[in-house]
Amino acid sequence: MAQAPGDIEALIALMARLPGLGPRSARRAVLHMLKKRAVVMDPLAQALAKVAATARDCTVCGNISDHDLCPICADPRRATGSVCVVEDVSDLWAMERAGGFKGRYHVLGGTLSALDSVGPDSLRIPQLVHRVEEEGVTEVILALNATVEGQTTAHYIAEALAPSGVEVSALAQGVPMGGELDYLDDGTIAAALAARRRL
Amino acid sequence: MAQAPGDIEALIALMARLPGLGPRSARRAVLHMLKKRAVVMDPLAQALAKVAATARDCTVCGNISDHDLCPICADPRRATGSVCVVEDVSDLWAMERAGGFKGRYHVLGGTLSALDSVGPDSLRIPQLVHRVEEEGVTEVILALNATVEGQTTAHYIAEALAPSGVEVSALAQGVPMGGELDYLDDGTIAAALAARRRL
């Protein structure tokens, strides 16, 4: 027989599918919840039910939101004419944590990939071109990952936006904060050298 | 501003308090749920709400259950007269995974600890003595952890049960399955030697 009632085993199986949790840690997490029902399990169940009921994609930028417009698209102070293009919602959150960007975002939902047959239409690139035309966007900042797929996608977007005449830029590549040259890969050092700046 | 709407940040904060998850992995887990709302988040929210609404302690043995009696206490085939005493529900689940025990359980909810002022009354030990008297228990198996606290608690329970005349035993101590002598601690080897058995 199973160790726990069926509902609890079902909950453990669902928790075990989350990234970073496996069968053993999911069992431990559920047991912890069951021991602290009032202070851990009930608030978590309520918070999860609330998010599951309200979460949706922002209709403009693709960010996760609890309204049709995410807080960033709904904030008139962020209508700066700058749109930052990111691959994923997690990248948007990382940009916001870093601070410094005052404009709005556009979440692609991935990168172009011939192997996985991901084309421009499944990446919200037409919506980006449309936004640039309709919203009076003056600058598009490509904040895509420094991977082959990310850079390929960046080039495709730059070409797709060329007819609109909008300014297109990309995040600088170079030595990361705290980076020691001895431990950096050759590509990073070469990119930092090519993009060196006068002091 | 926060990276995500308030409800989502609240959910991440609650997830981050589970054992085995921290702020970063909780954020990743919630983001994964948000991306797979129909196949991950909604089933998880429903399963958690169901368990939160029904989970309670078995009134007899202290196991986690969705009824007043847990499946083991409700199963007449397990009325063998044997009661296995464990510290915690996780130990009960471990015993069930191992198989081999066909009787019922009694969950103490911890071990005696003078430092944390945990006395016999906060450990369901009086309920155990009462069960032994009322249920016609013939054998009590102490499956407590092989720690100082576990063994202290085992001795206390053995003395508390002495007047009832019930047979009290404990799990064997010795070399674990696959154990290599060279890697075992001295205490385990000494215990295995003292409990050696004739072939």
**pLDDT (tens digit, 0 to 9) for every residue of chain B, 199 residues total?**
456 778 899 999 999 999 989 999 999 999 999 989 999 999 999 999 999 999 999 999 999 988 899 999 999 999 889 999 999 998 998 898 888 899 999 999 989 988 888 888 889 999 999 999 998 899 999 999 988 899 999 999 999 999 999 999 998 888 888 888 888 888 888 888 888 877 7
pLDDT value at residue B16:
95
Residues B163, B24: Cα–Cα separation, whole Å: 54
Contact residues, B window 162-191, toward A, CB-based 8 Å cutoff: none
Q: Is the ipTM of this complex over 0.90?
A: no
**How many Cβ atoms from other residues are within 10 Å of residue B164's Cβ?**
12
Q: What is the pLDDT of residues A121-154, one digit of tens each?
A: 889 999 999 999 998 899 999 999 988 899 999 9
Q: How does residue A11 score in pLDDT terms, banded at 50, 70 and 90? A: very high
B4 Cβ under 8 Å from any chain A Cβ = yes
Structural domain boundaries in chain B: 6-54, 64-198
Residue in chain A closest to B19 (alpha carbons) equals A29
Of B19, B32, B44, the CB nearest to A28: B19
> Model pTM?
0.77
pLDDT for A177 equals 85
Indicate the SS3 state at residue B8: helix
A54 contact residues in B (CB cutoff 8 A) = 7
Could you report the per-residue pLDDT of A60-117, keeping only the tens digit for each?
Answer: 999 998 889 999 999 999 988 999 999 999 899 889 888 889 999 999 998 998 888 8
- What pLDDT, on the 0 to 100 scale, is given for residue B3? 61
Residue A29: is its pLDDT beyond 70?
yes
* CB distance B138 to B166 below 8 Å: yes
Which chain A residue lies closest to B97 (C-alpha atoms)?
A3
Distance from CA of A42 to the nearest CA of B (A): 6
Residue B1 contacts A where some CB pair is shorter than 8 Å: yes
Q: Which residues of B touch A55 (CB under 8 A)?
A: 8, 34, 37, 41
Residue B89, C-beta contacts closer than 8 angstroms, at least 6 positions apart: A31, A34, A35, B62, B63, B64, B107
Q: How far is B165 from chain A (nearest CA, A)?
A: 31
CATH of B64-198, one of 3.40.50.1010, 3.40.1360.10, 3.30.450.30, 3.30.1130.10: 3.40.1360.10
> What pLDDT score does A1 carry?
42
The conformation of residue A176, written as its DSSP 8-state character, comes to P
B17 in contact with A at a CB cutoff of 8 Å? yes
CA-CA-CA-CA torsion for A99, A102, A106, A107, nearest 10 degrees? Answer: 10
Contact A77, A101 (CB under 8 A): no
Angle, vertex CA B165, rays to CA B164 and CA B171, nearest 5: 105
- Domains B6-54 and B64-198 in one fold: no
∠ Cα A168 A169 A171 (to 5°): 155
Between residues 21 and 40 of chain B, which touch chain A (CB distance below 8 Å)?
21, 25, 27-35, 37, 40
Contact flag A19-B40 (C-beta cutoff 8 Å): no
Residues paired with residue A84 on neighbouring β-strands, in sequence order: A105, A141
Note the pLDDT of residue A113. Answer: 86
pLDDT of residue B21: 92
Q: Which residues pair with B85 in a beta bridge?
A: B106, B142
Q: Can you give the pLDDT at residue B173?
A: 85
Instruction: Give me the pLDDT at residue B1, please.
Output: 42
| pLDDT class of A2 with cuts at 50, 70, 90 | low
pLDDT in tens, A182-192: 888 888 888 88
Residues near A163 by beta carbon (within 8 Å), at least 6 away in sequence: none
The answer to whether the CB atoms of B14 and A40 lie below 8 A apart is yes
Residue B122: the pLDDT is 86
For the structural domain made of B6-54, what CATH number should be given? 1.10.8.420
